[in-house]
Amino acid sequence: MPLVVKKFGGSSVATLDRISKVARRIVDSKKGNTRLVLVVSAMGDTTDKLLSLASRANPEPPKREIDLLLSTGEIVSSALLSMSLNSLGAEAVAFTGLQGGIITDNVHTKARIRKIETDRIVEEIDKDRIVVVAGFQGVTQENIITTLGRGGSDLTAVALAAALKADMCEIYTDVEGIYTADPRVVPQARKLRRISYDELLEIASSGARVVHPRAVELAKNYEVRLHIRSSFNEKEGTIVE
Ligand code: ASP
Ligand code: MG
């Protein structure tokens, strides 16, 4: 049975209205036996707001507590997306990083994923439930919450796609794909249908950060096909392979 991981960035889930639209689209496009794992970022600028609260509480907040605080952003969006899916008649279940088996090292605020214990996710998708995983977070072996660094939900999505041997990892974002140049600056810029991992890495390191560069590296190493596409329309985006 095909398995697809879909990642929705902060702008795609910025409001409850957008979350409902994402839920509607997922329900409408779910094909028969496709198993779905969704990964979400925090709503809009939630992470920035939480960071500013932290620095008001303490100019040098302990990193362990920063991670605990920031992890709430993705927990909120994953729970709301799962609720929205259930309201449309889909069976969905939301997981924190811990529940999703995402084990990291103990480097707070920029932890690296060490392994993913996929049993609980597999158990749910085998029951034809949609699993919504909070991006950007994991836990140490001691169950202490960590985060993966800014933009880290991309890493969650690609690492899960690799661990679950997904057929595709779709990255839904606020642009329609990868362009030959920045379409906001160069109107004749063309959207690329396909691009290699290395080409995308080059673009990512030159500043145009549609996907986290480490997520692209991870995708390359584990041969995870990426599809970078818009969360606001149905158009095909760019395939990275
Ligand atoms: N919410 C986190 C951030 O703003 C992670 C992510 O969006 O991927 O960096
Ligand atoms: Mg991002």
In testing the pocket of ligand 1, which one of 136, 147, 212 has its CB within 8 Å of the most ligand atoms?
A: 136
pLDDT digits (tens, 9 = 90+) for 62-81: 999 999 999 999 999 999 99
148 CA distance to ligand 1 centroid (A)?
A: 9
- Please tell me the predicted confidence (pLDDT) of residue 32: 82
- pTM attached to this predicted model: 0.96
Distance from residue 145's CA to the centre of ligand 1 (Å):
15
Quote the ligand 1 centre to 137 CA distance (angstroms). 10
pLDDT one-digit tens code per residue, 174-194: 889 998 887 778 888 899 999
Nearest Cα residue to atom 6 of ligand 1: 151
Query: What letter does residue 48 receive in the DSSP assignment?
Result: H
pLDDT for the residue 209: 75
Separation of CA 47 and ligand 1 centre (Å): 7
Q: Which of 40, 41, 173 to mutate to test the pocket of ligand 1 (most atoms within 8 A of CB)?
A: 41
Q: What pLDDT score was predicted for residue 207?
A: 60
pLDDT at 208: 64
- How many A from CA of 127 to the centre of ligand 2? 30
Which of ligand 1's atoms lies nearest the C-alpha of 153? 8
For the CA of 152, the nearest atom of ligand 1 = 8
Which bound ligand lies closest to the C-alpha atom of 135? 1
In the chain (241 residues long), the average pLDDT of successive 10-residue segments reads: 96 97 94 93 98 98 98 98 98 98 98 98 97 98 98 98 98 91 83 95 76 95 97 94 94
How far is the centre of ligand 1, averaged over its atoms, from the C-alpha of 154 (Å)?
9
Number of neighbouring beta carbons within 10 Å of residue 151: 19
Which domains, and CATH codes, for the chain?
3-240 (3.40.1160.10)
Q: Kind and range of the H or E element at 69?
A: helix 63-87
How far apart (Å, rounded) are the C-alpha atoms in residues 178 and 203? 9
User: Do the Cβ atoms of 75 and 145 come closer than 8 Å?
Assistant: no
Q: Summarize the chain as % helix, strand, coil (round to 5).
A: 40, 20, 40
Q: How far apart are the first and last CA of the chain?
A: 21
Ligand 1 pocket, Cβ-based, cut-off 6 angstroms? 10, 41-42, 47, 73, 135-136, 150-153
